[in-house]
Amino acid sequence: MKSLFSLVLLVLFNIHFLSAQDSKAQGVLDKLSTKMKGLKSFYIEFSASIKNSETGTNESETGKGWVKGNKFSASYGENTIISNGMKTWTVVKEEKSVYESDATDDEDGINPKKLMTIWESGFKNKYIKEDKLGSESVHVIDLYPKNPSKAEYHTIVLYISKGDGELKKAIMKAKDGTVMTYSLTKFQENPDVDDSKFVFDKKKYPGYPVIRD
């Protein structure tokens, strides 16, 4: 009887602990969401790495991106991605091709807008710990897909600053063993960005066929 009573207490404690952890994670993410939704625009710079030990993939690039409402423009290595909120164009310099898709079809790809809001839908969250990222204190929060069978990632790890509440790093672990790491090196709130930044101009890419995805 004593062992059974102890087991019940342990289970109740774990349920309370996990609930508190998830509540803490949600609180951190809610504050970040509120901050992001309060911005008219933002600019980021980042470094990124893509690794997969099974395929031997080990790549790294730097990038930058502008977001204004539901529009975004970004460069990543030699590639460029532009979205006016309705259509998205991905310019792949190595292939000398442009891929056009509906903005609503960009669920699997990562762009600066999605990177800074990825926790808002489709994921459960769990507070893991407080840690250090360099000299900065951060919250470490894991995201897990609510519908794993339809998700590309099985886990996303977020590092959010305890000081300014900004996202500092995201590690995305895909089902195929690929690990993508994005480290934010610069974040600027409400820069003045002209709408022309989000317009795809085919004249800038002569000889590049536009392929409808």
Whether the predicted pLDDT of 163 surpasses 50: yes
- Taking the domains of the chain in order of start, what are their residue ranges? 2-212
Whether the predicted pLDDT of 2 surpasses 50: no
Q: What is the DSSP letter of 150?
A: G
Residue 205: exposure state from Cβ atoms within 10 A (0-12, 13-18, ≥19): middle
Task: Please answer whether residues 83 and 106 qualify as being in contact, where contact means their C-beta atoms are separated by less than 8 angstroms.
Answer: yes
Average the pLDDT over 143-165 and give the result: 91
Altogether, the residues listed in the chain come to a count of 213
Torsion 162-158-169-116 (CA) sign: negative
| Amino acid 76: pLDDT | 87
Task: Please answer whether residues 160 and 167 qualify as being in contact, where contact means their C-beta atoms are separated by less than 8 angstroms.
Answer: yes
| Amino acid 149: pLDDT | 83
Average the pLDDT over 164-192 and give the result: 94
Homologous superfamily in CATH for domain 2-212: Lipoprotein localisation LolA/LolB/LppX (2.50.20.10)
Q: Which has the higher per-residue pLDDT, 148 or 38?
A: 38
Report pLDDT digits (tens) over 3-30. Answer: 544 444 344 344 343 344 478 999 999 9
Sequence-distant (6+) residues with CB within 8 A of 104 are none
| Amino acid 12: pLDDT | 38
Q: Which of 4-13, 107-116, 174-183, 197-206 has the lowest mean pLDDT?
A: 4-13
Whether the predicted pLDDT of 169 surpasses 80: yes
Sequence-distant (6+) residues with CB within 8 A of 22 are 124, 125, 126, 127
Mean residue pLDDT across the chain? 87
| Amino acid 108: pLDDT | 58
CA dist 29 and 128 (Å) reads 13
Q: Residue 29: helix, strand or coil by DSSP?
A: helix
Report pLDDT digits (tens) over 28-71. Answer: 999 999 999 999 999 999 999 999 988 999 999 999 999 999 99
Count other C-beta atoms under 10 Å from residue 198's C-beta: 19
91: nearest Cα among 169, 205, 213: 205
Average the pLDDT over 129-154 and give the result: 92
CA dist 140 and 202 (Å) reads 42
138 — pLDDT class (breaks 50, 70, 90): very high
- Portion of the chain with pLDDT greater than 90, in percent: 72
Report pLDDT digits (tens) over 75-93. Answer: 988 899 999 999 999 999 9
Cα–Cα distances (Å) from 150 to 122, 145, 157, 181, in that order, read 10, 9, 19, 21
